Amino acid sequence: MDHLDIDNILETYSDMVYRIAYTQMKSQTDAEDVYQEVFLRLVKNYKKIKSEAHLKHWLIRVTINCCYSQLGSSWNKHKARYEDNQSVLEPSIKRDEELDDLLEACHGLNEKDRMIIHLHYFEGYALQEIADFLEMSLDATKKRLSRARQTLKKEIGGDY
């Protein structure tokens, strides 16, 4: 990529980056912090991006890394959660109670399981792509997805 068309990139990928961040962080403000960090890093590193496909992969990988970094920080471990009872969706968006329930159940999963569920079901990625993003083997990714499905099935019921 010779130049940075940030408007086009934001229009194309901002929702994806925010959804991944929110799924991992479980907090709107923390997801917004990650979102900002990802796009700041893009501005600093855009010359390293080789193609549109590389950009998408880069954004997902950096979002995951920023989430893990923020979740592991000592600040995050000791802060109070003010948003725990807030809706999963913005108030202006038409609410889907089943989706709210599913996303809430996903928040009970560990970090990697949450990410696998999100990337597979909400972003539509194949398991090999997810394994690449998370730097895991394909078999480990399949096992985690299976266990996460079982956990969600118990949490929200088998009829979902």
CA gap 25, 31 in Å, rounded: 6
Query: pLDDT at position 86, please?
Result: 47
Predicted confidence at residue 42, as pLDDT, reads 94
Q: State the CATH class of domain 1-80.
A: mainly alpha
**Could you tell me where in the chain the CATH 1.10.1740 domains are found?**
1-80
Question: Tokens 């118990």 map to which residue?
Answer: 154
Helices (runs of H) and strands (runs of E) counted in the chain? 8, 0
The CATH class of 91-160 is: mainly alpha
pTM of this prediction?
0.67
pLDDT average per 10 residues of sequence, the chain (160 residues): 79 92 88 95 90 90 91 57 46 51 77 87 89 91 92 73
Surface-to-core class of residue 28, CB atoms within 10 Å of its CB (0-12 exposed, 13-18 middle, 19+ buried): middle
The CATH 1.10.10.10 domain(s) of the chain lie at: 91-160
